[in-house]
Amino acid sequence: MTMQTNIPPATSLEDIVFEPAIHPVVDDLDGIARQLRSSGDRDAAYANVAIERFLISAAAGRALGFAQETERFLALAQASPKPQVVECLDMLTALTVLNSASTIAVAIMPPRTADDLLAREFVAESVDSKLHVSGDAAMIEAAALAFEIGPLPIAIGERQRRTFVLASAAPPAAAIMRDGVPAMFRLEQGPSLVDFMQNLPQVAELVERAGLLLDDAERIARMIAVGNLGAETLNRLERARRGATLLATADLARTCLYADLVNGGAFPKDRALALAPRLPEARLRSIIAFAALTGGVIGELSSAAQALTTAIRGH
């Protein structure tokens, strides 16, 4: 699938015309967390997260877009001077982690429409095929459960499958980027991607918040278990429990994804992995395992990039 753009083709990284304005970059896992609205009734706010429509197709589109931009970077880097490549390595790391965040968000949020299911299947097939090429058995196993790889619960015709276009992968004009909302970034927004890498999440705060969310989810589950509840109250509590659980999953996954990129991230990552068994579904626990493995790979790539930068600049 090819993403349509009006940007003239570049033959090297030197040809990229960077947009100087800095736009805040919000990854899709952070986008899930931001669905929790400030409210005097926290359980009601959790319930709203569970019923609010999360645009899986949009997140899947960004996953596709970031993957294509990563491939574009690698292709241009082959024809670029080494010092130019080194100067842009933070952009490559940013695209990789944003692609992973979008991919994991697709796994977390429940599909509600045929397009949601199709978008998740599109991402799942892409993840599965890439992992089988890599041969990483642990990641293959984690992804299989995280993305529920297998037969779809609905029939999707081959024509619909072939012609399905993830429109959200199209790069947005800067004017329509909204603060606090996930958006697609390309190499042309390189300064924004570099700024993003210089202001990574505070993973210790993320894992602490996840622990509090799990406390709330378990508190609500105990209320449900007491019984003698009317149907309306039971439904409301179930939605609240589900919402708190999804938010906790997003924070734990985000912790694991970023921990290897920040100083002092090892303890928060261990803490996130220790909290993961409290998630009530095996699929959600597998998402955390997948995020941790993915974060480890990205951390290794980042360390290699830093070593290359030091070597090149040293000469």
Pick from 292, 284, 295: which is nearest to 145 by CA? 284
pLDDT digits (tens, 9 = 90+) for 125-144: 888 888 888 888 888 889 88
**What does the alpha-carbon distance between residue 302 and residue 98 come to, in Å, rounded to a whole number?**
14
More confident residue, 267 or 147: 267
**What does the alpha-carbon distance between residue 305 and residue 303 come to, in Å, rounded to a whole number?**
5
**What does the alpha-carbon distance between residue 212 and residue 230 come to, in Å, rounded to a whole number?**
27
**What does the alpha-carbon distance between residue 252 and residue 243 come to, in Å, rounded to a whole number?**
14
Distances (CA, A) of 73 to 11, 14, 94, 248: 10, 11, 12, 33
**What does the alpha-carbon distance between residue 212 and residue 207 come to, in Å, rounded to a whole number?**
9
- Asked if residue 167 lies in contact with residue 179, where contact means CB atoms within 8 angstroms, the answer is no
Q: Where are the beta strands (DSSP E) in 207-306?
A: none
Pick from 170, 154, 141, 144: which is nearest to 114 by CA? 154
pLDDT at 165 over 50: no
Mean pLDDT of the chain: 86
Read off the tokens for 291: 């995020």
First to last CA, the chain: 41
pLDDT in the model for residue 278: 98
At 11, which amino acid appears? T
pLDDT in the model for residue 250: 97
pLDDT in the model for residue 1: 36
Q: Percent of the chain having pLDDT more than 90?
A: 56
